[in-house]
Amino acid sequence: MKQIFRWIVLGGTLFFVGKAIKDHWLEVNAIRIDGVGWAILAIATVITLLAHTWAGWIWTWVLQELNQPVPVSQFIQVYLKTNIAKYLPGNVWHYYGRIVAAKEANISAGAATLSVLLEPLLMASAASIVIILFGSQLAIANTNFVLQILQLFSLFLVLCTIHPRFLNPIIRFLYRLKTKKSATTSTQLNIPLYLQRYPLKPLLGELGFLGLRGTGFILTVFALSSFNISQIPLLLGAFSCAWLLGLIVPGAPGGLGVFEATAIALLQHHFPTALVISAIALYRLISILAETAAATLALITD
């Protein structure tokens, strides 16, 4: 059933995107990019590459929060080399590669696994914060007092979710479950994994990561058409929402299809649909190009 659901999600989102492209193909085909636009797209690619490198650095911060200091440059290279594997079916092979590399660097299996679980959780929390702060721009009435109260309450919930008082019991439960299922020694059972403090530094780092990714997307839109500066929060909120759904929805390797369908649905009422379709298509190419370039550079410098 899980496999069937994944194919339904992927097929449904790709159908939605394909229909949108079909309905607006003439407008999309009419869009042209001048020399300045290509330069802006090149800058967007570099910024996206920097974002992935920055995400690799944040992973080392997560390991440090688990009392696992690691060589920063080596683990950034591991992160970049494995990142491209998220486009493989299953959408888990980049995590598997990082766990294997961490274990080879004498990191405990529990800490390695927990680090790759905490990293996307912090990413999702950062995206949720951006959506809460800027998502109201997607609504028609964004000055409602009740909506502002709900925003503050939602922000409070997100920040509490990653507090050690909430996460540590879950971590201990999962750790006990894992050790019961595996033939572990008593020494291993006496090594608890937990967060000693609020992961503020990694969370702020993930907010920076979302800011860099969002900047790359905004530049991609700007390369195709100018827009008002007041629309930047709208674009950032829509991007973060689409990116978050691409991260958490199963069945979409690298968020393929889910990100595009969500971005179209959120932005088509604020921008010309042809512009939105062209921007998200270009941004997907930019993202894959940046990830491939980052993985290549990591292999060359290894």
pLDDT of 53 over the 90 cut: yes
Separation CA 214–CA 119 (nearest Å): 18
**pTM score, two decimals?**
0.85
Residue 228 carries which side chain, given as an amino acid letter?
Answer: N
257: closest CA among 240, 236, 291, 281?
281
Contact between 218 and 130 under an 8 Å Cβ cutoff? The reply is no
Separation CA 166–CA 121 (nearest Å): 13
49: closest CA among 301, 238, 296, 302?
296
Stretch 85-107: mean pLDDT:
86
For 7, counting Cβ atoms within 10 Å of its Cβ (0-12 exposed, 13-18 middle, 19+ buried), the class is exposed
122: closest CA among 242, 216, 207, 212?
207
Domain boundaries, the chain: 8-141+204-301
- The number of residues making up the chain comes to 302
Stretch 7-36: mean pLDDT:
68
199: closest CA among 115, 128, 132?
115
Separation CA 252–CA 246 (nearest Å): 7
pLDDT in tens, 134-167: 876 665 444 566 666 777 888 888 888 888 888 8
Stretch 212-236: mean pLDDT:
93
Residue 260 carries which side chain, given as an amino acid letter?
Answer: E
The predicted pLDDT at position 268 comes to 87
Separation CA 115–CA 119 (nearest Å): 6
Query: For the chain, what is the radius of gyration of the CA atoms?
Result: 20
